[in-house]
Amino acid sequence: MTAPLDGIRVIDWTHVLAGPACSYYLGLLGAEVIKVEAIGRGDAMRHRGGTDNERAATGMSTAYLTQAAGKQAIALDLENSHGRSVFDKLLKSADVLVENHRPETLERLKLTEEQTRKINPRLIHCAMTGYGRDNDMSDAPAYDVNIQAISGLMAMTGTTETGPTRTGAPIIDYATGLAGALACTSALLQRQSTGIGAFVDVAMLEIAFSLMSSTITDYRLTGHAPTPRGNAANSRSPSSGVFDCATGQISLGVNEEKQFQALARVLNRAAWLKDPRFASDVARNVHAVELGAAMSEALKAKSALDWECQLMAAGVPCAMLRRLPEALELPAARQRGFATRGIAGFAGLPFKMGDNHDRKHDMPPRNIGDDTWSILRSLGYSHDEIDELHARGGVAGTTENAECL
């Protein structure tokens, strides 16, 4: 069975996380991905250390590896006329360009969406920036942590005691990558009927807003600005949230009447169902503090794991709080293999669609310019022309004999 994007060529001219993640997801869907890096250090994320400085020192940091597999690597100097001519040839051969450079950079390099369209009218040009086009912040630089701060997301997270808190993982980066991949596949589908390319404008700020969609609607219709609520459930149900147990903590999502009835029975508190304070959702909202105290007392009788087993068996939405190593051992994680089902055994797509992964393209992350020679040959350059490009500083990487220059 062929993969959905078999035959599609993607030029990945990106850096850091969101852009590389976008092209990685397209590669997981079957596209051929060619990563273009500057000669020298390449993508700065290659050297982003922290937990594994040895890998970072070699240009293979864990942050880089995550979304680098399955990509051919070419090193170009786009400020060099010879390197730029190669890049233009790549664009002519491509279906999609993914880039995450500020508009002022594209203007300087003469690679704006208008200019790439002239190079290849069928090209899907996906631009990923902090704040999108056509506004006074278009050229402002931004990382995940900046967008979490400016979007209001951090101000909603944590408690009044902790103050604003960043989420523990770069969720805006990866959500932006997913949104970019969705946009590119949509544009490719549209091209089937129009025959022409498209410009895809992805803004990280809007990705953050999309993750808060229902909260934004609530604010627009009620005027009540959200405040940090700690571990309270978004449903605002008094029987939902995170509770301490004899050991560990458990997250409850008890939002429906049948769920509350099942909860009361499992906790050996069937009397709650006839207690006027707790017998209806309206009454429970009025007596939320009392219900919370009663639930906390009941839950301390057993461990979070014991309650999870019993409550899940009774159909009550719940989950024991786990650290990542424990979470990756869950049957839903281990048996579906998300953490290893991507290219070269890295993380995969957050959905399954048949068995489309072609192991022939199971390419591990590459060093800077590892595939320069083979890519140039595929573009029609002769041996002598490739040597000339190297000599004039337009390209770098492997020669025909795979000797790194």
* pLDDT of 402: 42
On the CB side of 191, CA atoms within 13 Å amount to: 19
| 128: phi then psi, degrees, rounded to nearest 5 | -115, 115
Q: Which helix (H) or strand (E) holds 38?
A: strand 32-38
Helix ranges restricted to H, 223-368: 257-266, 281-286, 288-299, 304-313, 324-327, 331-334
Nearest CA among 351, 16, 1 for reference residue 185: 351
What is the pLDDT tens value at each position of the chain, 405 positions in all?
A: 789 999 999 999 999 999 999 999 999 999 999 999 999 989 999 999 878 999 999 999 999 999 999 999 999 999 999 999 999 999 999 999 999 999 999 999 999 999 999 999 999 999 999 999 999 999 999 999 999 999 999 999 999 999 999 999 999 999 999 999 999 999 999 999 999 999 999 999 999 999 999 999 999 999 999 999 888 888 889 999 999 999 999 999 999 999 999 999 999 999 999 999 999 999 999 999 999 999 999 999 999 999 999 999 999 999 999 999 999 999 999 999 999 999 999 999 999 987 655 444 689 999 999 999 999 999 999 999 999 999 999 999 986 644 443
> How far apart, in whole angstroms, are the C-alpha atoms of residue 347 and residue 361?
15
Tokens of 85: 């001519």
Block residue for tokens 């839950």: 299
Beta bridge partners of 318: 252
Beta bridge partners of 35: 12, 73
| 309: phi then psi, degrees, rounded to nearest 5 | -60, -45
Tokens of 20: 């590389």
| 399: phi then psi, degrees, rounded to nearest 5 | -95, -175
**What's the start-to-end Cα distance of the chain, in Å?**
39
* pLDDT of 235: 80
* pLDDT of 99: 98
**β-pair type (96-99, 9-13):** parallel
* pLDDT of 234: 83
Contact 283, 265 (CB under 8 A): no
Neighbours of 269 (CB within 10 A): 16
- 292-321 as b/e: b if 16+ CB within 10 A: bebbeebbeebbbebbbeebeeeebbbbbe
